[in-house]
Structure 1
């Protein structure tokens, strides 16, 4: 036997050691280069927390499990690495269900470890037992319940592999307490072998050529770029492709930042509250190239009116999305980066799109985003414009769902990837603030601002404790209109102005709430005071909470009403 072979065997033997189940978990996290965990302890997961205490791995104690998993989502969205969340069994585990569903629909890589009662009492309605496999099966990419110490290393390794490859998503590991206490041999060098899971990364070359043939023939092409461009780290390739063939680009809500917002080829966000030009570009296009977007209803409007003149190319790593909602003429299954690189390799003579681009540019000038100023009243659109100017568009912006989310998407221009963190498909109130905490851990040197509504902030406001404890410099900007703003807007427009349980006549004093956590609080009521207040917030080295009182009856426009198409937007021009 050669010395080289002996050395390899020795190294392999040294990597195999006896550990407890909890020790295996922490060792595996270290092997996966996990630098931070978000979680909350409890009885069934205590052996793991004991191991965290011994090893000193960085753990961020949320004050509610929902805060922990949204923080893990924010971390994953900004870093591109899997977010890790650890909670206990029963209510601890069920409290992360919303975050798991949110990550699933928005394709965020998470590994969620839930404690579970001992295997001997599973199924007996034991104290703090919940069937997490049954509960999370529809909302995870995959889930596991560990039944023996021998299978734990394999399961952890597979979980990280599944969460981060193909279309990213959450994977849950349900860890019974007796397994976490048991001891066994830890071997983490084994290869992942999953014959039933082989995502297609490299597209079919013939399909790529068909796309380029369509590009050469098109007079009015449009690229619709979704979050898949960001997950695939394909922003540079997207820009190169659009510039090479002078193709206009529009974004989905979650795709913002995948193409520079200031670029002359960019015409805004498409969908229910997108720009008029972006939606009309889709409506009038003769070729629609969708990259990493899933054609959800808030993007498409009435399917009977969606891209009626266009040949549809759909590039997506998830074959289940292709043809699901929109009939596709040229399907391309594969990674966005790989697909765009192959498109750039397949050079063709570009069609002349100059007239098409001039048409869209004229439309953008005639029908811009707009709002009416009202003296010293702060309009939320103004707030986002001023915030963009104050941060030079460099901040990481996180939001909940609702009016403030749409105004942020419309008026804060994103020129770089992974600056925009929001809850898209599930539309989760309470997401924005803890997601900002995760984003700050992902990029400690960046300015992170949670733009949130007064209602959504109150759902996870307890996470102010993390800011206080760690002096974490997250800035919280509450767009305070004393209501469930989007609910109130829909009640006004579609329910006869019957404002059922959507208005807040009494609110907490948010500045005093910040003070209770020893955090700087600023309240702004007038437009003239806003620029200085924003600068004060940004200059402060620690956390800041701003309560900004905006116009209470302002609505988000333009808007595609329910059941209408892109060409039937309302509120386009004042």
Structure 2
């Protein structure tokens, strides 16, 4: 057994190499310099970022789409504190991340060191686990631990805090210390299955229901359960509704798709109300999904399948709890029902046809908005053009708030799987561009479009330089309404026309901004030009394309549906 004297930073880099991590982003400082030097020498794919929050967003989107652990780093103090928003997104969304943070030399701590703060206390509630490395020789063990925690149970971000003297210190490591189980680099690395007696009871409840409905959350994607969801749905004609993060549980074009449920829905809320058995899969039943905890109505028969026991009863008391992995639970349910599946499917055909008919009627009812020629451009027209332009394997990244709600309601995936990536863990704006970067890195060859508002883009536009530097072939659509659109629309609904405070932005031509950063910029003011701009962006250019879409400035027509928190709703305010 050979041993090599190396710095702690090199030991960190070697562990990442052993784990087979993908692209990594960070902004260095003195504390992590040995790691950066080793990353260069051993060939880690490490890249400079312009803002640490975007490094976490990129890692989060990369993890969401690839299922692999996303990795990034930051220096101490302001670098560390800039991570908080992205860490909470990953924590709430169940994204497996390992994040390295430099810290002060322990001999100099609490002696007014430059940039020093109580960063461990700040970061601890923003991550699944925080591991501080106190001894150089424990680096392989604790980095391995970080990956194990990040990928087990509900995946999440693990912060590894590395003091300067640990990173710069040396130790004669044995080669065997860098061995890892490759399974810890993927999530979920471990799976559990519901108890057999609970599965038997659940299958009987579904078999006996006349109007069963499956409600899928983001857990179906974390688990890789979309094929299992499709199989069960088709086996017994079980319609499927979804949250924003659950979109793609089955294809939106599938006749059994009931669309988004909760605050913004098409037909799903009415189906939930009429259902006699709801199968909730990988869904926390949070505020948006339940329309402020009113959907499903109290007393509904609910089977809740989740691998996090703490979620049972948090917002709705289920009739039956299935504690286990979504993929394994759905597979087991399908096996339990296999003997009756043909009979159930035939019996439920009329119900399934009813769902398809209602969805077709809904589409017809909003056709005028989907094809509107109005100027400025109607958001419904933009989403309809996106539906036509995106190939089946395309990925739409939707920024928090405005973009996510419009995309959740109107964007249709054409196949099961993670084709729609909203940042609904924390619903922060600013995710559209870095999220698209992470998806492009996770799925090379798949067309990636980021949908963001002008307010969100203003926060992160510097990352266009990063995307250009990496020659990422992605498209960013900036929904340009010269406002913090969601806030302005709510002010209009709640306080009336003209009652706007701190919600307007200056008029900006973002196509020119993109061009000044060396990217392709296209400004679209006529809806007839949307299709051509999307074709150009999605065609696979050698670098990023930004499409600046000038949309309505009328706050009465900004929201995709009536927000349930408002009481002043005017006729015509519901856009789609």
Q: TM-score, normalised by structure 1?
A: 0.91
Match of 2:529 in 1: 529
In structure 1, how many angstroms separate the alpha carbons of the residues matched to 2:180 and 2:271? Answer: 50
Q: How does 1:28-427 map to 2 (within 5 A)?
A: 28-184=15-171, 185-186=173-174, 187-189=177-179, 201-275=192-266, 277-304=267-294, 306-308=296-298, 310-347=300-337, 348-350=339-341, 351=344, 352-368=347-363, 370=366, 372=369, 373-414=372-413, 415-427=415-427
Is 1:562 the counterpart of 2:565? The answer is: yes
Which shows bigger deviation, 49-58 or 331-340? 49-58
- Alpha-carbon distance in structure 2 between the residues aligned to 1:190 and 1:220: 48
Contact 2:401–2:486 (CA<8 Å) still a contact in 1?
A: yes
Give secondary structure in 1 for the equivalent of 2:340: coil
SS in 2 for 1:314: strand
Cα root mean square deviation, aligned: 2.3
CA contact 2:62–2:441 (8 Å) conserved in 1: yes
Q: State which drifts further: 247-256 or 420-429.
A: 420-429
In the TM superposition, residue 572 of structure 1 has moved relative to its aligned partner by: 6.5
Aligned-pair CA distance for 1:393: 4.1
Q: 1:69 deviation in Å?
A: 1.1
Q: Indicate if the aligned counterparts of 1:114 and 1:174 stay in contact, CA closer than 8 A.
A: yes
Is 1:23 the equivalent of 2:26?
A: no
Give the deviation of 1:36 after TM superposition.
1.5
Task: Give me the whole-angstrom Cα distance separating, in 1, the residues matched to 2:226 and 2:378.
Answer: 32
Q: Where does residue 543 of structure 1 map in the other structure?
A: 544
Equivalent in the alignment of 1:493: 493
Alignment of 1:425-574 (within 5 A): 425-497=425-497, 498-504=499-505, 506-539=506-539, 540-553=541-554, 554-559=557-562, 561-562=564-565
2:158 and 2:465 map into 1 onto residues whose CA distance is 28
> CA-to-partner distance for each residue in 1:188-229, whole Å, 9 max, x for gaps?
34889x9xxx97612211111111010111111110011111
Structure 1 residue 573 displacement after superposition: 8.6
**Which segment drifts farther, 77-86 or 406-415?**
406-415
Deviation at 1:556, TM superposition (A): 2.6
Q: Is the 8 A contact 1:284 1:308 kept in 2?
A: no
CA contact (8 A) 2:375 2:551 kept: no
Q: Residue deviations 1:291-339, cap 9 Å, x none?
A: 1000001111243552345311110111111111110111011111111
Q: Distance in 2 between matches of 1:77 and 1:336?
A: 16
Distance in 1, Cα, partners of 2:552 & 2:510: 18
**1:155–1:116 distance in 2 versus 1, CA, 3 Å:** same
- Name the SS of the counterpart of 2:278 in structure 1: strand
Q: Size of the alignment, in residue pairs?
A: 551
Unaligned runs of 5+ in 2: none
Distance 2:295 2:55 in 1: 41
| Residues in 2 aligned to 1:122 and 1:300: alpha-carbon distance in whole angstroms | 47
- CA separation of 1:176 and 1:447: change in aligned 2, threshold 3 A: same
- Residues 301, 563 of structure 1: 8 Å contact kept: no
Contact 1:273 1:556 in 2 (8 A): no
Decide whether the 8 Å contact of 1:45 with 1:89 is kept in 2: no
For the residue of structure 2 that corresponds to 1:60, the secondary structure is strand
Check conservation: 2:376, 2:553, Cα contact below 8 A.
no
- Does structure 2 conserve the Cα–Cα contact (< 8 Å) formed by 1:380 and 1:404? no
Q: Greater shift after overlay, 386-395 or 223-232?
A: 386-395
Instruction: Confirm or deny: 8 A CA contact 1:558 1:570 kept in the other structure.
Output: no
* Distance in 2 separating the partners of 1:23 and 1:316: 39
Distance in structure 1 (CA, Å) of the matches to 2:349 and 2:312:
30
Distance 2:529 2:572 in 1: 32
Post-superposition shift, 1:244? 0.9
TM-score (norm 2): 0.91
Instruction: Tell me which moved more, 113-122 or 127-136.
Output: 127-136
User: CA offset at residue 170 of structure 1?
Assistant: 0.4
Moved more, 354-363 or 404-413: 354-363
- Shift in alpha-carbon separation, 1:268–1:121, aligned structure 2, 3 A: same
Deviation at 1:17, TM superposition (A): 4.2
